[in-house]
Amino acid sequence: MAEQFDLVVIGGGPGGYVAAIRAAQLGMKTACIDEFTGKDGKPALGGTCLNVGCIPSKALLDSSKHYYHLQHHYADHGIQTSKLSFDVAKMLERKDGIVKKLTGGVSGLFKGNKVTALHGRGKLAKNQRVEVQLQDSDEVRTLESKYVILASGSVPIEIPGVAFDGEYIVDNVGALEFGEIPKRLGVIGAGVIGLELGSVWQRLGAEVTLLEALPDFLAMADRDVAKQAAREFKKQGLDIRLGAKVKSAEVKKSEVLVTVETGDGEEQMRFDRLLVAVGRRAYTEGLLSDDCGVELTERGQIKVDDDSKTTAPNVWAVGDCVRGPMLAHKASEEGIAVAEMIAGHPAHIHFDTVPWVIYTDPEIAWVGKAEQELKEAGVEYRAGSFPFAATGRGLALGHAAGMVKVLADAATDRLLGVHIVGPQASELIAECVVAMEFHGSAEDLARIVHAHPTLSEAVHEAALSVDKRAIHRIN
């Protein structure tokens, strides 16, 4: 006989596990199915983000940043070092420890909230029935539920002529596990994943070349921010090649031979390792039975409405498998909103105020519209900016590269976008998100007292600059 639940969630990533916890808090008998297995062979909740994405990459970024600054910047602080070395195995051990602690934390939260965790692959059938093929077992369990949330996530895109082999040609998972520092690392794609993981290994000594097919660097970011970021990355030694389309890649004698097409014709490049980071696609393989009623879009994503409802009754979908940005925090907030809607509470997500962050050094973060988007849409706006080099805290830290840019409606002064490249941009963007969520104006940011000396003063001064009244810079 099928087991009965109020809600079954398929997928234990940032969208799924958060939805399951919130549903349980709201009194629903909830089960969450996830198939991810950790390096120790045990179930590991948290999805791509906790296991092989957001968290481990930040751990490596932090380790490599310490090493890089020790080599290049600590002498300015009077700190002298000699015989500097790096232990890759120790770095990976630290990363794995962080991952295990956090995935174990999710498991503990499930137990504390009485969420039933099932380790296996879930498949949605007709009338909210879910079949679960348990891992390491021939057993298939059948669940019946009033409601279902699909949170199956995404997988890396593999491009024609460049097949993953897990050793020489890898996706983000492989790039987190290099046992030694590659002398030459090629990266296809200069987006978030390519820049972050490319930065990790470049800081540790690899010669890193990023091959970006698009003619513009970070096309989704504000142009001024992208230009400043590109200058800083090139100073650090990242070789960023735009308009470079990879035609093929093959492994020969422990090298990766890559054929690249540019405006000047074709050329061949050789690397010790090649990371393919051209984006991700919705993961729906084996998720849906033919009669379940859930439709997919032309892009292979699960079709949903503005409330994340699918085309099947009482079935919702959240996270990377649906429309919108593939961001962990977007997935989590969608999961919470859907759980609350199922429980009869009012809830929604305001996609216009979802922040973006790239955890390079300097960091890049933004919320709302970029200047080029406002121009294309014919929106009248005013802009203000302020450099971190004009802040006392930025100079004292020794990391003053970058700037804050504020965009406001020309008539109402309402904030339309804030863009930051610089130290701790990932944290500084939060006050801008709050201001925009509450329909704040540039004047609101300008009138708020910001502590001195802090990096947040750059946000304050950029808001003042919108009205040409910045204090610590000539307007």
Measured between alpha carbons, how far is 18 from 59 in angstroms, rounded to an integer?
A: 22
Whether a cis peptide bond, with omega within 30° of 0, leads into 362 is: yes
Q: Which of 343, 300, 342, 286 is nearest to 11 (CA)?
A: 286
The helix (H) or strand (E) run that includes residue 209 is strand 207-212
385 contact partners, CB below 8 Å, separation of at least 6:
224, 403, 404, 405, 406, 462, 465
Out of 72, 348, 350, 452, the active site residue is 452
Cβ(149)–Cβ(237) below 8 Å? no
Edge-to-edge strand list for the sheet holding 415-422: 356-358, 363-368, 415-422, 403-409, 381-387
For the chain, how long is the longest CA-to-CA vector? 75
Measured distance CA(406)–CA(56) in Å, rounded: 32
CA nearest to 145, candidates 130, 167, 125, 126: 130
Bridge-partner residues for 386, per DSSP?
A: 404
Task: Reduce the DSSP state of residue 214 to 3 states and report it.
Answer: coil
Q: What's 309's DSSP letter?
A: B
User: Reduced to 3 states, what is the DSSP secondary structure of residue 34?
Assistant: strand
Give the integer Cα–Cα distance in Å for 448 and 441. 11
Sign of CA dihedral 433, 435, 440, 446: negative
Residue 118: which of 41, 45, 219 has the closest Cα?
45
By DSSP bridging, strand 169-170 and strand 273-276 are parallel
φ, ψ dihedrals at 401, nearest 5°: -75, 145
Distance CA 304, CA 284 (A): 14
Catalytic status, residue 329: no
Sign of the alpha-carbon torsion through 429, 435, 441, 442? negative
> How far is Cα 158 from Cα 471, in angstroms, rounded to an integer?
50
Interatomic CA distance for residues 93 and 73, integer angstroms: 26
Cβ neighbours of residue 162 under 8 Å, at least 6 residues apart?
169, 188, 246, 248, 249, 274, 276
Active centre residues (catalytic): 452
